[in-house]
Structure 1
Amino acid sequence: MATYVIVGAGLAGAKAAQTLREEGFDGEIVLIGAETERPYERPPLSKDYLQGKSEREKIFVHAPEWYPDNDVDLRLGIPVTRIELDHRVLRLGNGSRQPYDKLLIATGAAPRRLPGPGHYLRTVEDSETLKERFAQAESVLVVGASWIGLETAAAARAAGRAVTVVEPEPTALNGALGPELGHMFARLHAHNGVDLRFGTAAAEITDTGVRLSSGERLTADLVVVGIGAVPEVGLARDAGLEVGQGILTDAALRTSHPDVYAAGDVAEPFHPLYGRRVRVEHWANALHGGPAAARSMLGQDVVYDAIPYFYTDQYELGMEFSGDIEGYDEIVYRGDVESLEFIAYWLRDSRVIAGMNVNVWDVVDEIQELIRSRAIVNPKELATGQS
């Protein structure tokens, strides 16, 4: 009987295990996680769960009984310390060995860190700690106007805290959305009382706040750092697998070893639509990438070409984003930007490469179809809904 092992008990890993069973795999499935919680989804940690709007049980991918009921050997609180490709064996942190026939690496990413005693938001424990601290702190300083940083800032404002955001870029989400839409998010936070400090970096976190690269010191009761994440590629690199920004895979999520696969935040697969490798850290990539990897492990003909997708809820704004803005040369708006009810389209050479719907719903499929079509569009018709 074949043994398929999944390293990383997050959303991608749990969905891969589920898909293996749904597709008829009757061998042994071992799902190994370094965290002590069973697999859960991360978006609520900086959204509803952080704000106390949803219950803890809702964050989990499966009920506790799902794993024994589906004969999935879930092992929690056990880090994998080494992959021995030649022997098809994992070395575990408890001293044991786990053989495998096929292996999926779904180890995710870890927060990028700064020197000093700051708080980070990655795990359910992190979210619960911040929720408690929001109830105690009068002032919160957020380092990084990233998605996590801004969602944390919105949650702190919802808790009634004074909030300052420090960001070295000229505006919020500059790399993710470009300056045009980055300014919109900056205005949203400023309108909701956040003190935004752009063009300045945090050099060090201190016991009383942050020391900036300029030498200025800002004080706060609580400092939260959201400056991006680093994929957990150490196991793969040490094993001799090919690694770039993430673990390099083909379009079937197969690594440089034919029996080892990668999915989720840690993977950097070749994307047929873009003609290059693309690493995506968002929730939808784990949700869809885990099942795609499972089907690939089963020998099915898999081409993982999901368009990157992300969503956020901040104050009165809800939005969904699809695509990749790299190389855009124009933005077209449909609707009213000032009233926060519009669609933004990023274009390159008159083709839609990304779209963001803000407080406009049920249009993601339409946006993604435009991206996939590579059709040349008329900007005026696109703005009026005729394209």
Structure 2
Amino acid sequence: MDGSLAGEALPAHGKSRTVDPMGAEHELADALLAAAREAGIDASEVTGLRQLSGGASKEMWAFDLVTAGGTTIPLVLRRQPAGRRFSSQGLPSVAAEAALVRLAEGVGVPVPSVAFELAPGSAAGDGYAMARITGETVGGRVLKLPELEQARAGMARHCGEILARIHGAGGYEPLGLRQIGAHEELAALEERHRLTGHDRPVFEFALRWLKGRLPVERARVLLHGDFRNGNLMVGPEGIRAVLDWELAHVGPPAYDLAWLCVTSWRFQRPDLPVGGFGTREDLIAGYEAAGGAPVDRAELHAWEVFQTMNWGVMCAGVAEAFLEGSRSIEAGVIARRASETEFDLMRLLAPDHEAWNVR
């Protein structure tokens, strides 16, 4: 691929559907060509436009941009179609996400470089194009593929290094990111739990435990918001790109570190707490060596409890929606995981749990 554009995820095994070049797709191709030219790219044609599977909240389209000189640049468009209500817990727009990706790249985070953006008010919607990378993003496959064995060996430390760069980044203030501290996070978590309408004694116990132990944050930093196995593009040499920045916000650093350690993101490798591929000690060592603030082990453990319940409440919310008629196989699978998180919480809250001593 063109090394000047470090692109968005396109797993080698990913599915796509080729679309009819007429109608809305033709309009989208024209908008992409116009946006590329406006960005200073000497583009002559958009070919191979096809919508990718996945992208629950935003559409993803793969295409090739052909320059006047005959060079083909493989790209991916991430967009919110015109007329569709924007939905995000972190960023105010897809355009803001593009700016954030550029900011992250500027501090050394491996990300999909932004090639160009759709103009404000474009009939194609709100979006940006990135070069296309191949690699693996499915968490379970990252942990099993033999060709990724060497990558897995260093990934926990590399994740720490990447998170240190993200947390040390400045200049994000104009993006209008949501800011939320530890106590506000806990209050919001409890409110979401109550709204599910389910009585879960383990969740109640975890809430009481957190109210006495979740530390007041020492600092607020730029957070990725969803940094985990499954949002990392991995190749044989290691992490190629950090994906899915739409939940980015400003808050305590341990929020990101703990989310990476949630049991559900270990994909049946509970013995390796960091994403199923490494230890907490390696994660912390990489984080601190790359300039991250010293990690308090008790604070990290408290945030692991928080994030485990956070995921559990998300699953319970999906369960409630499922019972109300929002039915899909994916929703059914996610809904049942609320009970799994109760088991994970009981393990985390046991006095002899490994997290107390860090592994």
Is TM > 0.5 for Structure 1 vs Structure 2? Answer: no
Which has the larger share of helix? 2
Which has the larger share of strand? 1
TM-score computed with the length of structure 1 as normaliser: 0.24
TM-score computed with the length of structure 2 as normaliser: 0.25
Higher relative contact order (CA 8 A, sep 6+): 2
